[in-house]
Structure 1
Amino acid sequence: MRFGKKAVLASIATAAALALSACGGGGTSGGSSSGGAVNGAGKTLNVFIGKNTTYPQQQQQWFDDTAAAFKKATGADLKFETFASGNDELTKIQTSAVSGQGPDIYSLGTTFTPTAVATGAFAQLTDDDWKALGGKDKFNQAALGISGPDQNKLYAVPFASRPFVMAYNKDLLKAAGIDKPATTWDGLVDQAKKATDASKGQYGMSIAYKDNFDPWKYIWAMSEQSGNKLVDGKTANINNDAVTKAYQTYFGWLTKDKVVDPASVGWTNSQALANFASGKSAFFLMTSTGSLNTLNSSAIKDKYDYALMPTQISDTAPSGARPVASILSGDNMGIASYSKNKDLALAFLKMVTDKDQQLSYQKIFGDLPTSSDALKSLSSAPHMAAVTDAAAKSFATPFTGAWADIQLALVNVTVQSIPDLASGNVSQANLSQRIKAAQDSAQQSLSRAK
């Protein structure tokens, strides 16, 4: 999905104006969060947000135009500051919480939100706050699943959604006699085998084994689909048959099923995407709308589409299984507990989550809306049916301050298994040892977490 620079910038300016002209929520600057326009004359609202390295010019223009429109609507200045990594953001949160000074609003990755909230630096949103934002019903309800530990304790507002799906090559599936992508992992492996022709350098799947983020998502999904929650309260459930089976399945695509290019041992997600975009595989798993630009300018631009990731292991779902389509992925925004500009913060959050602004943001940056109305309007757009379906069928990862450490422990099992994968076999003894280490690490983090 490509746009000319002038069209992109015009779209940003128009959306900011439309969103703010419709923004009537919020309260007076004196502290009420319901009713009346916000008067922020002489004040500055500070927003801390991740730097967009893919679209840096567009992001800066969005900053400028949004700030100008916010100034016109509220009389307040809007200042953006960017961070480059989760560590940078966490450091800022911790130092600001101690000093009682810093940004009014933080943009938070969804899986990072529990860790950030555990610092105590964010204000719990009240019923009046949600009314000022347009109500909880304004949002895709699945997106609220990682805004707090439960529906009565919410600390963050869903801003952007990036559910994971899989891309497939329609021509390769047709040539293999496959009507549509499988809905189970067992079925997907069978299809991948049919589409594999190693003599031509063609494989069933493009997988990024060396990526820093992909591996744990497979293990979490398969574990949930097996009826095993990786975290149950203060207890980690990693060293068990369900997780072992998940890793065996994930590694087995390369070592046993032979449906993955051996070179994928060294691939990141972007390299796996490039492989799929060149027409050399039938399926590219664990991708989002961030792959649209690459695929729409590739050799298979007229040959691909998206489908839900498998939501079951096999045709028979075990007791307690959840049909997860994706982790609840994207960005939230939280208001700092020390902020003296809560009404301005709520006015800003209402603005950026209103339908027009959300649709414009999607066109520019590719992220799906969290506004339910905006999301529904995209379901009939090219390649969007499965993506919007995944957004509605996404599930939250555990809301615990230990989750960042837990997902790292899960990734480390794969990192430590790369040499074994390269040699063609991950022994059960080695796998068991690594899973036990992940269990111990996860349990220690859970025991320390608030």
Structure 2
Amino acid sequence: MPTRRTAAVTALAAALAVTATACGGGSASGGGDNSSPGTLTYWASNQGTSLENDRQVLEPELRAFEQQTGIKVKLEVIPWSDLLNRILAAASSGQGPDVLNIGNTWSASLQATGALLPFDAAAFQKIGGKERFLPAALDSAGAAGKDPAAVPLYSMAYGLYYNKKLFAAAGIDHPPATWEELVADGKKLTTDGRYGLALEGGNVSENVHHAFVLGKQHGADFFDTAGKPAFDSPGAVAAVKQYVDLLGTEKIAAPGNAEYANNQSVTDFATGKAAMLMWQAAGANLKSHGMNPEDYGVAPVPAPAGATGDRATTSMVAGINLAVFKNTRNTDGALKFVSFLTGTEEQTRLNRTYGSIPPVKEAQADPAFTTPELKTLAGVLGSGAKPLPQVANESQFETLVGTAVKNLLAAAAAGKPATEDSVKAELTKAQQQMPAAG
């Protein structure tokens, strides 16, 4: 959920260095904030329409778990604006929940604090096995070469949403598969106060997600093989310029999109002010604005013609991971709870409720996940999605590069289209603000 996570990502950029040095991991005697071995505390992220909606969804499931195991779960649903600060405070003090939700792109950064229980072979065996999960989702659960710091709970991917009626009126009979086609279609669709594409340019997380995908398509990873930032490489510069040009040079997105940060682009698409939208599992949001599934189609985000491998990337791996606090007094109970939430039945029920994709492969067989939208997004997640860089400084990368793109979009909206020099200058400045490794 990108807009909910922006404040949290910013908080991590400021606080992680302190936490990493303050927390050396926990011990069984340290204890979380649970008071009894027969009780677990669960910090859930806000996935529904409100905190109360999440409680209504989750409380019956927790009671079912208690009936099965005798273990009572104390639930706290935490808004995204507070979640990361709460996790960081728990990591620093050693007093935290037993089980918690984390944004999957935080995994490597929080792994570096030592506060989360590693999912080694024994832990995976207790929750039914590593092979049950989508490989792409597991790739966004911690740094390469280390045991994952969490397991996937809810998965999402980006798709290109397009308005079928507006496409037909413009004489366009299929969604664009390449960026050249997207720009050409966008220009046909930009007319009478409507634009071809809606962007969420004031949203740091959205910006960095698209910069990452385009970076992959241009052969840029934003970090080198040693984990050092490479924000201003030629490929990264080309990727960011291409994205900003959708608003600045190509003018298929409205200048006001540079300020959008609270799902306004989704609203514009749903109300016909824009004909295309790149978003994660937007169906429930679109329905809340009166747009029905038959009104739109969903296709993969464009890629270069004939692209293969990383250059065919069309989404970052999006989603929510489930972690166990290392200081829990009840590791066995916590792993039983993780096993319950990642079981096929619960995966089906919870992801169906939230409109997300089950990262557990067996759960995807449920008819609820075979709608045209979710079937397309599941295909993207399975073959076209790559995890954001799994390095300890990943969250700082999100904040700094996302802000650089925001600045460039604002300049373009003000009549100053991006140039290679202006893009490189912004990305170089972002790279210079990265903390030193170690």
Query: What TM-score results when the alignment is normalised by the length of structure 2?
Result: 0.84
Distance in 2 (alpha carbons) for counterparts of 1:122 and 1:278 = 43
Shift of 1:220: 0.7
Q: Which amino acid aligns with 1:435?
A: L
- 1:359 correspondence with 2:348: yes
Distance in 2 (alpha carbons) for counterparts of 1:369 and 1:290 = 16
Match of 2:218 in 1: 226
Match of 2:280 in 1: 288
Distance in 1 (alpha carbons) for counterparts of 2:291 and 2:88 = 47
Match of 2:405 in 1: 414
SS at match of 1:236: coil
| Deviation string, structure 1 residues 60-95 (Cα, Å, up to 9, x no partner) | 123322232222111121112233346x44443444
Distance in 1 (alpha carbons) for counterparts of 2:205 and 2:92 = 30
| Deviation string, structure 1 residues 128-154 (Cα, Å, up to 9, x no partner) | 221221111211221101122236522
- Partner of residue 432 from structure 2, selected from 427, 431, 440: 440
What does 1:93-132 align with in structure 2 at a 5 Å threshold? 93-132=87-126
Distance in 2 (alpha carbons) for counterparts of 1:142 and 1:431 = 30
Aligned residues: CA RMSD: 2.4
- Partner of residue 349 from structure 1, selected from 319, 338, 361: 338
SS at match of 1:383: helix
Q: Structure 1 stretches of 5 or more lacking a match?
A: 1-29, 31-39
Distance in 2 (alpha carbons) for counterparts of 1:55 and 1:90 = 18
* Identity percentage of aligned residues: 25
SS at match of 2:197: strand
- 1:133 correspondence with 2:123: no
Match of 1:48 in 2: 43
Distance in 2 (alpha carbons) for counterparts of 1:321 and 1:289 = 22
Match of 2:268 in 1: 275
What does 1:371-382 align with in structure 2 at a 5 Å threshold? 371-377=360-366, 378-382=368-372
- 1:265 correspondence with 2:265: no
Work out whether residues 54 and 77 of structure 2, in 8 Å CA contact, stay in contact via their aligned partners in 1: no
Q: Which amino acid aligns with 2:173?
A: D
Instruction: Kindly report structure 1 stretches of 4+ aligned residues shifted beyond 6 Å.
Output: none
- 1:69 correspondence with 2:61: no
Query: What TM-score results when the alignment is normalised by the length of structure 1?
Result: 0.82
Match of 1:397 in 2: 388
| Deviation string, structure 1 residues 403-449 (Cα, Å, up to 9, x no partner) | 111111111213323442222223534333212101222xx33x335
Distance in 1 (alpha carbons) for counterparts of 2:99 and 2:138 = 18
Which is greater in Rg? Answer: 1
What does 1:225-264 align with in structure 2 at a 5 Å threshold? 225-232=217-224, 233-264=226-257
Q: Which amino acid aligns with 2:234?
A: D
Distance in 2 (alpha carbons) for counterparts of 1:216 and 1:163 = 14
Please say which of residues 377-386 and 142-151 is displaced more in the overlay. 377-386
SS at match of 2:108: helix
Distance in 1 (alpha carbons) for counterparts of 2:72 and 2:96 = 15
Match of 2:24 in 1: none
| Deviation string, structure 1 residues 299-328 (Cα, Å, up to 9, x no partner) | 565320211112x2x32548x743222111
Work out whether residues 214 and 269 of structure 1, in 8 Å CA contact, stay in contact via their aligned partners in 2: no
Please say which of residues 131-140 and 372-381 is displaced more in the overlay. 372-381
Work out whether residues 279 and 300 of structure 1, in 8 Å CA contact, stay in contact via their aligned partners in 2: no
Match of 1:181 in 2: 175
